[in-house]
């Protein structure tokens, strides 16, 4: 997810401006969280023949006003240490001047007309700027804003902590109701193999036709999450391998979540920490008792073959909070980052091949067998 990736970048001493530029481009939700409806990365502001200014972004807010959106590193020094007259560091002064140069470009009518024609925009004459730099703990934010205001500057500052806070607030507005609901939260590290039939990782329930939740790889190379409700209606969400950019034969971190809120049901899939599907349904009914029973490596009857290796699995009987999901992601990535995407560095695992499977103790479909899990 966007926040998980951002915190990872902030914890990395090696992440440069390019890494943060790529993060913003991969996660346009951050612009939505800031109230922008359109963004253009690395626009070319031609000042002379083949000579350009290149801001990181130009963004349009919900009122149609365009802004320069400029990125610097999170360790950027902003204010000099306290003295009688606190001022900005020289480098930060340069960043402010740089934004002013970008703004002056649009004050020229001919340049503005040419730019708007090239990018199908309607950028206005007076363009404000936002610089993303520094961390809250390192910046006297009130004093920075006062200095900028006293100068009559149209340049504002947001720290990377402010970006994270905006995303947290936006996520809470959208998804807080999804947390801590009855359902399932399934987290696995697995190595998937190609198979010509449905390749079941986990199958919950004991009836093929109802009260069943299945996680499997289909023959068309898509990851499937399927719910068959109490009335026998099927609800499925899926992610094609090519969309999620993951492969057979290498460890992959998969998350499947099913939640029953008061007036709706949701299903989602994440691959390697990135959210790919989010399906919202009218409230469906599933007998919770059926979810006590599960099979790993086959369907609920144990009569379908499988081909994969399970490295680690965690299953919860509810949808998790955001903080819990971040904690789990961090655990899995910290433990297995050395082998993610590497076929030659596989950790200890249980391999399922053909008609080999495990089932929960007491599973009603296997009454004549002793406990296997």
Give the single-character DSSP code of 82: S
Residue 85 predicted with pLDDT over 70: no
| Pairing between β-strand 294-296 and β-strand 358-359 as defined by DSSP bridges | antiparallel
Can you tell me whether residue 181 is helix, strand or coil?
A: coil
Query: Quick one: how far is CA 200 from the chain centroid?
Result: 25
Split at pLDDT 50, 70, 90, the class of 349 is very high
Q: Tokens 């914890």 map to which residue? A: 11
Split at pLDDT 50, 70, 90, the class of 40 is very high
Could you give the angle at the alpha carbon of 328 between the alpha carbons of 323 and 334, nearest 5°?
A: 125
Q: Going from the N-terminus, what domains does the chain have, and what CATH number goes with each? A: 2-171 (3.40.91), 179-359 (2.60.120.200)
Residue 371 predicted with pLDDT over 50: no
Can you tell me whether residue 279 is helix, strand or coil?
A: strand
Can you tell me whether residue 357 is helix, strand or coil?
A: coil
Integer angstrom CA distances of residue 272 from 4, 215, 267, 331: 11, 16, 17, 12
pLDDT digits (tens, 9 = 90+) for 192-237: 999 999 999 999 999 999 999 999 999 999 999 999 999 999 999 9
| Pairing between β-strand 182-192 and β-strand 251-260 as defined by DSSP bridges | antiparallel
Instruction: Give the span between the Cα atoms of 179 and 239, in whole angstroms.
Output: 22
User: pLDDT exceeding 70 applies to what percent of the chain?
Assistant: 95
């Amino acid at each position: 997810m966007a926040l998980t990736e951002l915190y990872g970048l902030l914890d990395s001493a090696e992440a440069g401006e390019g890494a943060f530029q790529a993060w913003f481009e991969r996660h346009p939700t951050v612009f939505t969280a800031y109230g922008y409806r359109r963004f253009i990365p690395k626009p070319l502001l031609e000042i002379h023949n083949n000579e350009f200014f290149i801001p990181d972004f130009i963004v349009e807010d919900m009122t149609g006003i365009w802004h320069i959106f400029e990125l610097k590193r999170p360790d950027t020094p902003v204010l000099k240490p306290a003295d009688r007259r606190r001022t900005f560091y020289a480098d930060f002064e340069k960043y402010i001047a740089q934004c002013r140069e970008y703004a002056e470009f649009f004050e020229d009518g001919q340049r503005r007309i040419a730019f708007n024609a090239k990018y199908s925009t309607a950028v206005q004459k007076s363009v404000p700027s936002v610089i993303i730099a520094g961390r809250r703990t390192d910046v006297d934010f009130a004093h920075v804003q006062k200095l900028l205001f006293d100068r009559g500057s149209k340049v504002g500052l947001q720290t990377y902590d402010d970006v994270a806070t905006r995303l947290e607030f936006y996520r809470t507005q959208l998804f807080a109701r999804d947390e801590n609901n009855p359902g399932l939260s399934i987290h696995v590290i697995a190595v998937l193999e190609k198979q010509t039939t449905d390749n079941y990782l986990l199958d919950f329930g004991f009836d093929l036709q109802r009260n069943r939740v299945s996680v499997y790889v289909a023959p068309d190379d898509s990851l499937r999450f399927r719910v068959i409700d109490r009335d026998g209606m099927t609800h499925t969400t899926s992610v094609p391998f090519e969309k999620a950019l993951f492969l057979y034969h290498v460890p992959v971190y998969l998350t499947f979540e099913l939640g029953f809120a008061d007036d709706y049901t949701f299903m989602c899939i994440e691959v390697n920490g990135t959210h790919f599907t989010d399906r919202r349904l009218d409230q469906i009914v599933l007998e919770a008792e059926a979810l006590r029973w599960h099979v790993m490596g086959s369907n609920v009857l144990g009569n379908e073959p499988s081909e994969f290796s399970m490295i680690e699995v965690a299953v919860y009987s509810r949808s998790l909070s955001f903080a819990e999901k971040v904690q789990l992601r961090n655990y899995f990535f910290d433990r297995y980052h050395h082998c993610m995407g590497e076929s030659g560095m596989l950790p200890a695992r249980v391999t399922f091949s053909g008609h080999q499977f495990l089932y929960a103790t007491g599973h009603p479909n296997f009454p004549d067998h002793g406990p296997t899990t």
